[in-house]
């Protein structure tokens, strides 16, 4: 895995600037660096050596050196593409997958993207017409950020590279704060930095003659085959997933595997006999510690298991460092746990496989089952359900109240993704400027508009694939692994795996028996039943416990009373959320954590801590 950066045009001290842009992402590629600089463009590269260890230095050039490539990612079918391109007359001077992309672009132009199987973010400069072509992979596993600054296109694998460009004036994007408070992450393509965007998954862009054009080349659409039997579905999943794992294990260095107690990473790990697996947990009981489950499976499948218990002090001491590496605030506390398991793995291997994407593709989140639980109730007349909801809404919380409230809403009205923190009324109460607050459904509407013909479960999956997975799951996976110079690969998020997943009927994805039903049945062929059927935990972190501890309560309270907090929020309202949680009146841990993380991040990038790597 690597890091790329660059800018078009000439500026004073341009070589020094691009070198600094590359230097701040050294963690993405500590093995070597490379640059291409001419009168029209400056391109930087940091390398983590995985394939062709001796000959894979970038930039990569075509035969007459009219085209230049820098690339972050892995192409798993590069050997087949290489043979095809050689048969067409193209000459290769390396054994890398990188060179395959460049010659593929020469041969097929943008259509090369349709042929690639893998994860990628790359830039190709064509000196013949001074154009720059930048592309991001199908699901958004690898990041690309960009900004147009005084006619210069500035880009990078991480935002921190763009911040080193001297003509960019760093400004806070207030619009993103509104969305963050509802979703717990910055909604792409916007970022917390005014004028800096992320290239969306499945998109490419061209920059020529001072203009950006962006196109979508791939979309995760579903087309369930209702004639598919249960056994046929399970057979297809098992066959394609085995192919994907084997493809993702291709490397010139040792490959390990993350392992939790859940079925996703456990399924991946069954293909790792005699190799290494990695797990972390907290010393707060089984609810927050999956190590025993992971150790038990490791013994059964014959892998070398490594684990770490994260102490409370370690976790809190590394919050600033994690938020620095994230570039943008992410209120998912599991990103910090992911930092620690990545750090552990990096002591033994350079590459790991993980289970991200299985829930989105195969229907794994518990919330998806709400469709089934509400189905009977929603057969009652809508008017009656709305009347009942109006009756119970002002009442104190009681068992079944939430069921009645949500049962009066369509999936489009009640589901904005896996994280729903603050609604509009709550945002208006806590924000200094309540006018920026909007209903989160205003953002999700465009995704639901594209899925009008889908069943409700598939609608939820489509929304999560395009929002939650990009803004949370894959962002933290990339940043936390790369912060530790570790390449993370995700075999569920494979184009060929999705070709199967999109055809699975929703009844074989989510039903009364389980979520991810067909996928679990495929996994059951490779592991003991207890692991294949285990309820999803989702990397649990004991934030609700910590926020009832006086030590951590006071840390957060001080932050809520800070000048930064008072700049954006009504501090007394924040303190009320915190106190109600501390005193056991209501579990506000996720909302408290969301605001706290934003304040920590803001102080790093805009406040008194301004961008130095936290120790």
Dump pLDDT digits (tens) for 166-207. 999 999 999 999 999 999 999 999 999 999 999 999 999 999
Q: What percent of the chain has pLDDT over 90?
A: 88
Contact 149, 8 (CB under 8 A): no
In this structure, are strands 131-136 and 255-258 parallel, antiparallel, or unpaired?
A: unpaired
Instruction: Tell me, yes or no, whether 239 and 142 share the same domain.
Output: no
Contact 366, 464 (CB under 8 A): no
> End of a domain among 162, 186, 216?
216
Give the pLDDT confidence of 291-317 residue by residue, as tens digits: 888 888 888 888 899 999 999 999 999
Instruction: Tell me, yes or no, whether 315 and 389 share the same domain.
Output: no
Give the model's pLDDT for residue 298: 83
Instruction: Tell me, yes or no, whether 59 and 157 share the same domain.
Output: yes
Is 423 inside a domain boundary? Answer: no
Instruction: Tell me, yes or no, whether 32 and 98 share the same domain.
Output: yes
Task: Answer whether residue 515 shows pLDDT above 80.
Answer: yes
Q: How would DSSP label each residue in 67-129? A: EEEEEEEEETTHHHHHHHHHHTT---SS--HHHHHHHHHHHHGGGHHHH--EEEEEEEEETTT
Task: Answer whether residue 49 shows pLDDT above 90.
Answer: no
Give the model's pLDDT for residue 538: 61
Instruction: Tell me, yes or no, whether 520 and 573 share the same domain.
Output: no
* CATH code of 329's domain: 3.40.50.620
In this structure, are strands 211-216 and 203-208 parallel, antiparallel, or unpaired?
A: antiparallel
Contact 50, 251 (CB under 8 A): yes
Instruction: Tell me, yes or no, whether 330 and 251 share the same domain.
Output: yes
Instruction: Tell me, yes or no, whether 359 and 373 share the same domain.
Output: no
Instruction: Tell me, yes or no, whether 89 and 195 share the same domain.
Output: yes
Q: Which of 176-185, 219-228, 392-401, 515-524 has the lowest mean pLDDT?
A: 392-401
Instruction: Tell me, yes or no, whether 120 and 239 share the same domain.
Output: no
Task: Answer whether residue 319 shows pLDDT above 70.
Answer: yes
* Active-site choice (2, 198, 257, 335): 2
Instruction: Tell me, yes or no, whether 357 and 373 share the same domain.
Output: no
Residue bearing the bigger pLDDT, 540 or 16: 16
* CATH code of 145's domain: 3.60.20.10
Residues constituting the chain: 615
> End of a domain among 170, 187, 216?
216
Burial class of residue 354 in the structure, from the number of CB atoms within 10 Å of its CB (0-12 exposed, 13-18 middle, 19+ buried):
buried
Is 584 inside a domain boundary? Answer: yes
Give the model's pLDDT for residue 537: 60
State the residue range of the domain holding 590: 543-605
> In the chain, how many domains are there?
4
Instruction: Tell me, yes or no, whether 257 and 397 share the same domain.
Output: no
Query: In 10 A of CB 295, how many CB atoms?
Result: 16
Is 439 inside a domain boundary? Answer: no
Is 419 inside a domain boundary? Answer: no
> End of a domain among 185, 216, 247?
216
Instruction: Tell me, yes or no, whether 51 and 155 share the same domain.
Output: yes
**What would the mean pLDDT of 227-250 be, rounded to a whole number?**
97
- Tokens 């013909």: give the residue: 453
Q: How would DSSP label each residue in 557-614? A: HHHHTSHHHHHHB-HHHHHHHHHHHHTTSS--HHHHHHHHHHHHHHHHHTSTTTT---
Task: Reply yes or no on whether 335 is catalytic.
Answer: no
Give the model's pLDDT for residue 260: 85
- Tokens 């973010």: give the residue: 121
């Amino acid at each position: 895995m690597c890091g790329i950066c660059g800018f078009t045009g000439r500026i004073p001290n341009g070589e020094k600037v691009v070198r600094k842009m590359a230097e701040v992402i050294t963690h993405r590629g500590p093995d070597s660096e490379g640059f291409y600089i001419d009168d029209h463009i400056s391109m930087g590269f940091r390398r983590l050596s995985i394939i062709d260890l001796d000959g894979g230095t970038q930039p990569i050039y075509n035969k007459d050196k009219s085209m230049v490539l820098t690339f972050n990612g892995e192409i798993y079918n590069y050997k087949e593409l290489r043979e095809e391109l050689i048969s067409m007359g193209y000459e290769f001077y390396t054994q890398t997958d990188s060179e395959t992309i460049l010659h593929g672009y020469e041969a097929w132009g943008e259509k090369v993207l349709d042929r690639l199987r893998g994860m990628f973010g790359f830039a190709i400069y064509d000196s013949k017409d001074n154009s720059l072509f930048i592309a991001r992979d199908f699901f958004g596993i690898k990041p690309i950020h960009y900004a147009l600054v005084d006619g210069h296109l500035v880009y990078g694998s991480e935002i921190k590279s763009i911040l080193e460009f001297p003509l960019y004036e760093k400004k806070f994007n207030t619009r993103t704060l509104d969305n963050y408070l509802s979703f717990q992450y910055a909604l792409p393509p916007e970022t917390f930095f005014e004028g800096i965007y992320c290239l969306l998954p499945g998109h490419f862009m061209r920059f020529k003659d001072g203009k950006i054009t962006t196109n979508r080349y791939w979309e995760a659409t579903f087309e369930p085959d209702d004639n598919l039997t249960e056994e046929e579905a399970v057979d297809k999943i098992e066959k394609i997933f085995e192919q994907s794992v084997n493809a993702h294990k291709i490397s010139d260095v040792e490959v390990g595997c993350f392992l939790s107690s859940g079925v996703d990473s456990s399924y991946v790990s069954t293909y790792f006999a005699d190799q290494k697996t990695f797990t972390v947990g907290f010393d707060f009981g089984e609810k927050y510690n999956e190590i025993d489950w992971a150790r038990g499976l490791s013994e059964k499948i014959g892998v070398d298991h490594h684990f770490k218990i994260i102490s409370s002090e370690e976790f809190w001491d590394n919050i600033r460092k994690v938020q620095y590496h994230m570039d943008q605030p992410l209120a998912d506390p599991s990103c910090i746990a992911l930092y620690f398991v990545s750090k552990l793995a990096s002591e033994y291997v350079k590459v790991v496989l993980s289970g991200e994407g299985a829930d989105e593709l195969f229907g794994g989140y518990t919330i998806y089952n709400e469709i089934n639980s509400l189905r009977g109730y929603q057969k009652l007349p809508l008017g009656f359900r709305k009347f009942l909801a109006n009756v119970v809404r002002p009442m104190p919380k009681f068992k079944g109240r939430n069921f009645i409230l949500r049962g009066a809403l369509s999936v489009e009205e009640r589901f904005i993704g896996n994280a729903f923190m603050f609604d509009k009324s709550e945002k208006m109460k806590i924000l200094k400027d309540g006018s920026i607050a909007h209903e989160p459904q205003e953002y999700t509407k465009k995704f639901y508009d594209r899925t009008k013909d889908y069943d409700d479960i598939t609608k939820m999956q489509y929304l999560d694939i395009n929002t939650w997975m990009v803004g949370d799951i894959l962002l933290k996976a990339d940043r936390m692994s790369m912060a530790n110079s570790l390449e993370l690969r995700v075999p569920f998020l494979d184009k060929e795996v999705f070709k199967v997943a999109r055809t699975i009927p929703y009844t074989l994805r989510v039903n009364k028996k389980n979520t991810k039903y067909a996928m679990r049945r495929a996994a059951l062929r490779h592991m003991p039943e207890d692991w294949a059927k285990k309820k999803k935990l989702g990397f649990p972190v004991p934030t609700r416990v910590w926020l009832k501890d006086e030590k951590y309560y006071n840390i957060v309270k001080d932050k809520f009373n800070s000048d930064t907090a008072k700049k954006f929020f009504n501090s007394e309202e924040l303190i009320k959320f915190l106190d109600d949680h501390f005193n056991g009146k209501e579990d506000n841990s996720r909302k408290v954590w969301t605001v706290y993380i934003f304040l920590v991040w803001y102080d790093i990038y805009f406040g008194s801590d301004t961008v130095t790597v936290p120790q």
